[in-house]
Amino acid sequence: MTTWVPAWDAGTGEERARALFDTAFGVAPDGVWSAPGRVNLIGEHTDYNGGLCLPVALAHRTFAAVRRRGDGTARTASAWDASVVTALELASVAPGAVAGWTAYVAGVAWALRERGLPVAGFDVAIDSCVPVGSGLSSSAALSCSVALALDAVNALAQDRAALAADCVRAENEIAGAPTGGMDQAAALRAEPGHALLLDCRDQSVRHVPFDPAAEGLALLVIDTRAEHALVDGQYAARRATCDEAARLLGVATLRELTDAPGDAEHAIVALDDGTPDGELRARRVRHVLTEIARVREFVALLDAGRLRDTGPLLDASHASLRDDYEVSCRELDVAVEAARAAGALGARMTGGGFGGSAIALVEADALVTVADAVAAAFAREGLRAPAFVA
């Protein structure tokens, strides 16, 4: 039996958040705001290197029902555990001061206030159909839905790029979860029918047409449901290696090495000084630089209406993440290999890695066949059953 995780329609999500708000706080909210999860088509581990990435918003969204209060208190409830309402004083929010998921909510209020914006206390009830902890960015869906709500109920009129930056600060500094900015940009700035080409150097975006159905295709999202320890340390280690390489090469970010032809190749050769550290650094940097190049090629194909030809780029991205960046895992490798064997045009892990999700570009009429084949491969390998997000 293959498990599918369906998206709620907007009405359902709103109703659920309203009902939860009523149960938790006994009044009606001022309104309900929402933000989606995302998958990244290509451009992985490039965001914190000032690079390019290409996420698309999922149909799956997180809904935040919010009511502004007159005081400085924030009270939070989530459908996760509807019986628990947490209260805190906004003035006491600081790095390290808030534990659990409430930190994502409090962090947004904190980031807005850090910019001197007048954010009053509030009550918030959260419900969501975004799979949590699956690399589909439920955390940004949460922080961004709250950012839209606080912007509206406090009449702040901030633009979405500024709100995305606030959500990045909320996650990094208050929730203590390192994030490079792609997730928040996708949640707040992506448009239907388009992928979001995000330039992480200056946060500029371009909306690139992306409509698989129009070409008889579909994007299968595979949640491996793998649980791996040590993920945080690995992410921090990759970032540190990239920072160190940039320092050795005398550039602000690795992205600068993709601006002039030949620089990337020279940098990779220069880093490999024959020591194990040098060899490792060169491989990590090779992933980042070739991945940025793949984003450019992928976008060129989309611009030319050639989504069907992007499969090899997806495959190459996966190989680079697996072999050079070493952030894949058995579940992700099984997922992409099984998808390809069942006819996918291309497949790759998406998100940070070490578990989470994979994507496969498939013929629309083969969606269920490929999903079934992936589920069968997981069963054969003795892995926990995956879920499919559609």
Radius of gyration of the chain (CA): 21
Q: How many residues bind Mg ion (CB under 5 A)?
A: 2
Q: Smallest distance from the beta carbon of 138 to ligand ADP, in angstroms?
A: 3
- Give CA angle at 33 (81, 25), nearest 5°: 45
DSSP string of 214-271, one letter each residue: GGTEEEEEEE-----SSHHHHHHHHHHHHHHHHHHHT-SSGGGGGSSTTHHHHHHHHH
Q: Smallest distance from the beta carbon of 132 to Mg ion, in angstroms?
A: 9
- Residue whose Cβ sits closest to Mg ion: 139
Three-state secondary-structure class, residue 331:
helix
Q: Smallest distance from the beta carbon of 322 to ligand ADP, in angstroms?
A: 19
Site for ligand ADP, residues 269 to 308, rule: CB under 6 A: none
Burial of 326 (0-12, 13-18, 19+ CB in 10 A): middle
Site for ligand ADP, residues 221 to 260, rule: CB under 6 A: none
Active site residues: 183
Stretch that binds ligand ADP, among 134-142, 150-158, 262-270, 364-372 (CB under 6 A): 134-142
Site for ligand ADP, residues 46 to 85, rule: CB under 6 A: 62, 78, 80
- Which residue lies nearer to ligand ADP by CB, 8 or 101? 101
Does 134 bind ligand ADP (CB under 6 A)? Our answer is: yes
Q: How many residues bind ligand ADP (CB under 6 A)?
A: 17
Q: Could you tell me which of 130, 142, 14, 131 has the C-alpha nearest to residue 76? A: 142
Binding mask of the shown chain, residues 155 to 184, with x at each position contacting ligand ADP by CB under 6 A: ----------------------x-------
Site for Mg ion, residues 80 to 139, rule: CB under 5 A: 137, 139
Q: Could you tell me which of 108, 119, 97 has the C-alpha nearest to residue 169? A: 108
Other CB atoms closer than 10 Å to residue 185's CB: what's the count?
28
Q: What is the largest CA-CA distance in the chain?
A: 67
Please pick, from the candidates 136, 167, 219, 362, the single residue that binds ligand ADP as defined by CB under 6 A.
Answer: 136
Does 137 bind ligand ADP (CB under 6 A)? Our answer is: yes
Q: Smallest distance from the beta carbon of 62 to ligand ADP, in angstroms?
A: 6
